[in-house]
Structure 1
């Protein structure tokens, strides 16, 4: 681990602490050290004035508070003979600000040290979290060698260096990014976890929505699921499936989009390049699919009504408020969207059990999560169907 690269910038740690990582020992899963560190990190995030400006950072603070950790640990309470695998090399997605923190904290709970390649996009949330991590580690000096946050450009040599010294490699990103990283070989006993391009959808029970009294809260929840990440997160729904009679759906759509638009207009700025991207996708989908654009008062929300659902529709999704709508008479009509690239189905209304039973009956290649609207970005230790604790740790058996 002594090799030094001038192109590597250290956001947390240094070349010296990187060299020391070879000497760190794996920890037990949910170790006392890790739990104490996360509790302190949570308290600092939730009381930090700068962090409070970013809902995704605050959400991280709630995620790692002690009560949440105790609940996360329950499925593993009989697995005291699990230790971390060693060093985990994380390649964070370029377009989601806080994902890197969840990834490395999951690795710590699994007993590992982490080398994290931070997002290439300049997110203020990343700087805030790097500062708070550093402040917390000052109180836990024994854990300092377990964290290395770095930035570097597209470098096969650097990818190969960090891939060579890790025991687990975790890649978050698009299919092309995963393909590029995989050109860097791994040692024989190193495992790899990849989270590739995915799409998600939302199912809305129209009668239930019309009967709801808190439509502003529903708009906020949907905004957090979508606009907060510019729909770049795999969890963000691009497809809106309305369930109910034609009359109920039409009435619900009018209220839903009007309420959402008022919320978006106060909080969201659409950049010119985003508007062009949406227009381009609108033209593309208009050429290749039976769709109709629904007029809106401006470009903050782009609505496309599909006459039928097909697998190909997933290739025409866009971000920044681009939604493909469909009215379903039977929830099973979502089948074409539930292929291997489908990650999350969010819902509003009393449709959870119907959704679950429908998905189980279909046995699709995709669909890993069914969650209430407003909770699509809630991180869990089982993600995309992968148990991160068990995947990043090893079991010591004794007979």
Structure 2
């Protein structure tokens, strides 16, 4: 049976009286329309002023990204790249959000929205407090009369995994955006989109922290590093693609031993102060992962700390990306220099977070080695920052089509 709006069932989350027909029938907006900028910046202010959300640093960070000054800087970059060319929204974007990092849909939706697209967003049925508060704010703000244009141009929905519903929205969108694991992407890709539509997919990725051990030893106070690494790792309990799962130590053996002790003691103190969601399930997941690693790989040393657990690898051949479970598990590897990274970087590797290396040194590594993987390199503390260039895609550009005028 061909799916239609009349024979599929899903739950509408926002707007509370949202209607899919209104979304399909509404016209696109021009890129960086004032109404879009106002909606996003007002929502940013409301999140930052909401006392219930201050305990969720990932939402505060997201609201900071949404502030008006940053949106205007995105606008400036967009038009500087566009120059005299004609870029317009593609039409309707269908976003499928991941279950492990639910708030990623905000970035995906707003970048698409800023360039003028209408948007349908499918979020997971997994409930959590911060998402509920966020959706309530979105619902309330979109119902304001001044944002009627916005209300008619988006729909946030949820439904159990159902190919018919996904097929309906896929065949009515102009761009489909899939955020999820490899299996999810492969399953959804089996559902066709219309011939004129395009697709972006963001699959499972693996990220790495690289630390210059001598820099830790040379600094009297590394507290900022400890806090930054904690934030990169534990905002989403290492479930985000950009969270570090492998820590590479660069230096000689003596420096690395001393630096590791300082570092993990410092990170553990921050963890003890901030993390309050330890569960037996997390501990079991780590136990299964480390035991599996011990079976498959030789010459590894597994630390017995149940909270932050490190696994010292003998060489890069022992990196088991698919066995990593998050939850405070960190592989460790010793390197003599940055160039050794190129021996094991693969397409699956997304973000490198660095500490103790300057921009020129990092740029030289890239230009000299031409690594086949890695989409972004940032300082530790910024691994969780979202950028409109993600996994090698300029999203502001991808959400647009170009009209070539050659007269």
Q: Please indicate the TM-score interval, normalised by the length of the shorter structure.
A: over 0.9
Residues 183-332 of structure 1: pairs in structure 2 closer than 5 A: 183-268=190-275, 269-296=277-304, 298-310=305-317, 313-332=320-339
The answer for the alignment partner of 1:77 in structure 2 is 79
Separation in structure 2 between the aligned mates of residue 312 and residue 186 of structure 1, nearest angstrom: 37
Residues 98-109 of structure 1: pairs in structure 2 closer than 5 A: 98-109=103-114
**Superposition deviation, residue 44 in structure 1:** 1.2
Separation in structure 1 between the aligned mates of residue 130 and residue 101 of structure 2, nearest angstrom: 10
CA contact (8 A) 2:212 2:251 kept: yes
Structural RMSD (CA): 1.8
Change beyond 3 A, Cα 1:21–1:2: farther
CA contact (8 A) 2:47 2:60 kept: yes
CA contact (8 A) 2:22 2:153 kept: no
> Is the aligned partner of 1:52 residue 2:59?
no
Change beyond 3 A, Cα 1:173–1:392: same
Separation in structure 1 between the aligned mates of residue 18 and residue 59 of structure 2, nearest angstrom: 29
Separation in structure 2 between the aligned mates of residue 70 and residue 291 of structure 1, nearest angstrom: 52
Secondary structure in 2 aligned to 1:77? Answer: helix
The answer for the alignment partner of 2:159 in structure 1 is 152
CA contact (8 A) 1:291 1:306 kept: yes
Relative to the length of structure 2, the TM-score reads 0.93
Structure 2 unaligned regions, length at least 5? none
Change beyond 3 A, Cα 1:261–1:131: same
> Residue 39 of structure 1 is aligned with which of 41, 55, 59?
41
Larger displacement relative to structure 2 (85-94 or 18-27): 18-27
Q: Deviations over 1:314-343 (max 9, x none)?
A: 233221111111111021212243211000
Separation in structure 2 between the aligned mates of residue 59 and residue 398 of structure 1, nearest angstrom: 40
Separation in structure 1 between the aligned mates of residue 138 and residue 151 of structure 2, nearest angstrom: 10
**Superposition deviation, residue 5 in structure 1:** 5.4
CA contact (8 A) 1:96 1:119 kept: no
> Is the aligned partner of 1:176 residue 2:178?
no
Secondary structure in 1 aligned to 2:333? Answer: strand
The answer for the alignment partner of 1:132 in structure 2 is 137
Separation in structure 2 between the aligned mates of residue 148 and residue 94 of structure 1, nearest angstrom: 18
CA contact (8 A) 1:89 1:115 kept: yes
Change beyond 3 A, Cα 1:291–1:123: farther
Secondary structure in 2 aligned to 1:343? Answer: strand
CA contact (8 A) 2:308 2:328 kept: yes
How many residue pairs match? The answer is 398
CA contact (8 A) 1:14 1:148 kept: no
Separation in structure 2 between the aligned mates of residue 356 and residue 4 of structure 1, nearest angstrom: 54
Secondary structure in 1 aligned to 2:334? Answer: strand
**Superposition deviation, residue 16 in structure 1:** 5.3
Q: Deviations over 1:81-134 (max 9, x none)?
A: 311111110000110131111110111112111111112322222112111212
> Is the aligned partner of 1:112 residue 2:129?
no
Separation in structure 1 between the aligned mates of residue 263 and residue 52 of structure 2, nearest angstrom: 32
Secondary structure in 2 aligned to 1:140? Answer: helix
The answer for the alignment partner of 1:90 in structure 2 is 95
Q: Deviations over 1:333-387 (max 9, x none)?
A: 1224321100000011124432332133222221000001011111111100001
Relative to the length of structure 1, the TM-score reads 0.95
Q: Deviations over 1:203-239 (max 9, x none)?
A: 0111112233442221111111111111111001111
Secondary structure in 1 aligned to 2:93? Answer: strand
Secondary structure in 2 aligned to 1:46? Answer: helix
Secondary structure in 2 aligned to 1:371? Answer: strand
The answer for the alignment partner of 1:30 in structure 2 is 32
Change beyond 3 A, Cα 1:45–1:213: farther
> Is the aligned partner of 1:19 residue 2:21?
yes
Separation in structure 1 between the aligned mates of residue 301 and residue 310 of structure 2, nearest angstrom: 6
**Superposition deviation, residue 261 in structure 1:** 0.9
CA contact (8 A) 2:121 2:155 kept: yes
